[in-house]
Amino acid sequence: MSDVNEPCLGCAIVRGDTRPVGGVLARLPGLVLHGVAGPSPVRGWVVISSERHARALYDLDEPTARELGALAARVMRAQREVLGAEHAYAFAIGDVLRHCHLHLVPRFADTPRHLWGRAVFEATPAEHLPAEELEAAARTLAAALAMPPAP
Ligand SMILES: [Zn+2]
């Protein structure tokens, strides 16, 4: 796997130099909501990244931190309401990519038990969904959030 920190993958997504599957769903002051930058076994897995290069949530200024919490709640609600998720997780780990980001991962009624929780990161290639399905879910989420699409 290539180094995601040199150059920083988070900064590349924020700048629009790299397009994750699902693309950028929304831009808010200080934050960018985008599809997860990697294969996914669940539809609607999205990530909120800080616009500015910050190490983690503890580096965000107060308004951005507040916006992050509010946005995460809205996205997780939409994952349940429009994608039909049973539950939604929020993960901010930051051991791999050292650019502040929060994973918002829906869990569906048919998500296999071995992919619950943090194990969703360990899905095998056979469990990854086709890009078209992920793109469609991202569009559905973006529409539900009623935020203007990214340029
Ligand atoms: Zn960065």
Is the per-residue pLDDT at 148 higher than 80?
A: no
pLDDT digits (tens, 9 = 90+) for 117-131: 999 999 999 999 999
Q: How far is the CA of 111 from the centre of ligand 1 (A)?
A: 31
SS3 of 52, please?
coil
Is the per-residue pLDDT at 151 higher than 90?
A: no
Is the per-residue pLDDT at 69 higher than 60?
A: yes
Cβ < 5 A residues, ion ligand 1: 8, 10-11, 53, 99
pLDDT at 120: 98
pLDDT at 147: 55
Is the per-residue pLDDT at 145 higher than 70?
A: yes
Q: How far is the CA of 3 from the centre of ligand 1 (A)?
A: 12
Q: How far is the CA of 52 from the centre of ligand 1 (A)?
A: 7
Is the per-residue pLDDT at 149 higher than 90?
A: no
Q: What per-residue string of b and e applies to 82-99 under the rule 16 or more CB within 10 Å gives b?
A: ebebeebbeeeeeeebbb
Is the per-residue pLDDT at 150 higher than 90?
A: no
Q: How far is the CA of 28 from the centre of ligand 1 (A)?
A: 17
Domains, the chain: 9-146 (3.30.428.10)
Alpha helix (H) ranges present in the chain? 9-15, 62-81, 131-145
Q: How far is the CA of 13 from the centre of ligand 1 (A)?
A: 9
Give the pLDDT band of residue 72 (cuts 50, 70, 90).
very high
Q: At what angle do helices 131-145 and 62-81 cross, to 10 degrees?
A: 110
Q: Calculate Rg over the CA atoms of the chain.
A: 14
Q: How far is the CA of 113 from the centre of ligand 1 (A)?
A: 33
Give the pLDDT band of residue 2 (cuts 50, 70, 90).
confident
Q: How far is the CA of 57 from the centre of ligand 1 (A)?
A: 13
pLDDT digits (tens, 9 = 90+) for 29-66: 999 999 999 999 999 999 999 999 999 999 999 999 99
